[in-house]
Structure 1
Amino acid sequence: MPAAPVFEKADPTNLRSLYQHLRVCDVVDALDGIGYFNIGLMDPEVRPLWLGMKFWGEAATIRAVPSNRPMWKLDTTEDIVAAHGRWFAEVPHPKLPTDLAPGHVIVMDSGGGPEVGFWGSENAMASVLGGAVGIITDGYCRDTGEVAAQKSPVVARRRGRSIIPGRIMVIETQTTIACGGVQVSPGDIVGADDDGVVVVPRHVAEEVAVHARAVLLADMRARKKHYDSLGMQPDSSVDIDGILAYYADL
């Protein structure tokens, strides 16, 4: 599967492109402006695992629950290394479709399960290879040092240690879920940055993008004046001309 594209210009037929340069706070302000107060604001404990992470994309959803059965005792080192394979052979689970368009965000409802690193450095990287631009769980991620080092875009509530077998199981994909206290449906626009996570319901996503773009530009103009007054060199966060050029064809 090809990597998720980085857009050179906003494309009115592609929602993800409309959000590419927006900050989470711009989108939250826009949601407030249309009367969607506090809708889509994930629990602030659900946070990027490393600073500087930013992504937007359409949600692909997973719902999990506690497994309610233990992993059986394993007898050999080889069996212990292969524990996941042994477990999934006995307790199969639904998987996300293989034909998801590049640029999706995987959003997981962990079902309030126990500490378990459902996400880790290997399967996060595999998901990116499969076209995901972000992974969000209101549960745990493990191998977090590696996740940060390899810049895998994982957002989680907790850092964990244990593995999946005997602890958690996926029961549904591509259905409406609750994650971090908000509703998420397949196709909703989901974004994360250093400030946290917001979910934009699909039916208002185009309108919200218009207002959020205006909020961003107003902030950039105000901050650019401060940069000038302080004698600071402009950086990409005040590149007003670049933003105007990106959205010029809308």
Structure 2
Amino acid sequence: MTTLNPTHFRYEKADPAELASLYQHLRVCDVVDAMDGIGYFNIGLMDTQVRPLWNGMQFWGEAATIRCVPSNKPMWKLDTTEDIVAAHGRWFAETSHARLPQDLKPGHVIVMDSGGGPEVGFWGSENAMAAVLGGAVGIITDGYCRDTAEVAAQKSPVVARHRGRTIIPGRIQAIETQTTIACGGVQVNPGDIVGADDDGVVVVPAHIAQEVAVHARAILLADMASRRRHYENLGMRPDSSVDIDAIEAYYAGV
């Protein structure tokens, strides 16, 4: 069972048939520790410069991939204000541009290989919101995002290497989707589990994702139990980060 509204997607219970649901409450560090434990040492760790644009962001989901390259074709001069406002539409109408499938399951994470292109705000406040409305729980690019104050204010889940200023026409093209890409120095395939939080980004190859989720959940619960004892000894009021009962209830039966 899942819930979806225009700004957030959540699983109500862990479900072995929904791989991403097994990760919903995990921290990136739990998953990294679990991958280390089964011998996947330093695999899946994106460059530390690829970071959430605002603090407190957290998401997990199956990867939907986009590969971009520099366009090698400048945008032509536009003659009117109307044409300038419509520049993106003009560019996409006359230049091929690969698009993600329309039937992606809610809960996916869009991961984009920017192709080492120039400064270009491929992601911004408007298309990030559109991606969320399309069911994305996160957007990751090793390129640029612009409108970053608005992205933070509206809590759009964008992770990027750089903050940018320019727009797409004449600078970058999406040439392929749902293929193997490199993003932030790691390989990403459609269906891999991708997560981000304040510590950074990790990619879990799909073929080990079930096993990693089991170990990572145990790591999380052990850490919560230890931290809850510290809370008690320090006289601190418990918060959701040490609510073991809620986590055990979410994973009950899995």
Please give the range of the TM-score, normalised by the shorter of the 2 chains: over 0.9
Distance (Å, rounded) in 1 between the aligned partners of 2:250 and 2:104: 26
- Displacement of 1:6 in angstroms is 1.5
Distance (Å, rounded) in 1 between the aligned partners of 2:190 and 2:23: 17
Which residue does the alignment assign to 1:47? 51
Which residue does the alignment assign to 1:160? 164
Aligned partner of 2:126 among 99, 122, 128: 122
Aligned partner of 1:226 among 198, 206, 230: 230
- Displacement of 1:39 in angstroms is 0.5
- Displacement of 1:7 in angstroms is 1.9
- Displacement of 1:245 in angstroms is 1.2
Unaligned runs of 5+ in 2: none
Number of aligned residue pairs: give it.
Answer: 249
Which residue does the alignment assign to 2:99? 95
TM-score by length of 1: 0.98
Distance (Å, rounded) in 2 between the aligned partners of 1:202 and 1:21: 18
Matched letter for residue 253 of structure 2: D
Matched letter for residue 135 of structure 1: I
Aligned partner of 1:169 among 167, 173, 198: 173
Q: Deviations over 1:5-64 (max 9, x none)?
A: 422221111111100100000000000000000100000000000000000000000000
Matched letter for residue 165 of structure 1: P
Distance (Å, rounded) in 2 between the aligned partners of 1:202 and 1:191: 13
Q: Secondary structure at the match of 2:229?
A: helix
Q: Secondary structure at the match of 2:93?
A: helix
Which residue does the alignment assign to 1:108? 112
Q: Deviations over 1:73-124 (max 9, x none)?
A: 1111111111111111110211000000000000000000000000000000
Matched letter for residue 86 of structure 2: A
Aligned partner of 1:180 among 154, 179, 184: 184
Which residue does the alignment assign to 1:189? 193
Distance (Å, rounded) in 2 between the aligned partners of 1:237 and 1:5: 20
Which residue does the alignment assign to 1:69? 73
Q: Deviations over 1:122-178 (max 9, x none)?
A: 000000000000000000000000000000000000000000000000110000000
Q: Secondary structure at the match of 1:94?
A: coil
Unaligned runs of 5+ in 1: none
Matched letter for residue 238 of structure 2: P
Distance (Å, rounded) in 2 between the aligned partners of 1:52 and 1:212: 20
Which residue does the alignment assign to 1:83? 87
Which residue does the alignment assign to 1:143? 147
Task: Say whether residues 1:28 and 2:32 are aligned partners.
Answer: yes
Which residue does the alignment assign to 1:133? 137
**Percentage identity across aligned positions?**
82
Aligned pairs (5 A) from 1:207-226:
207-226=211-230
Q: Secondary structure at the match of 1:79?
A: helix
**Alignment check: 8 A CA contact 2:9 2:137 kept:** no
- When the two chains are superposed, the root-mean-square deviation of aligned CA atoms in Å is 0.9
Q: Deviations over 1:197-220 (max 9, x none)?
A: 000000000000000000001100
Matched letter for residue 123 of structure 2: W
Distance (Å, rounded) in 1 between the aligned partners of 2:149 and 2:9: 27
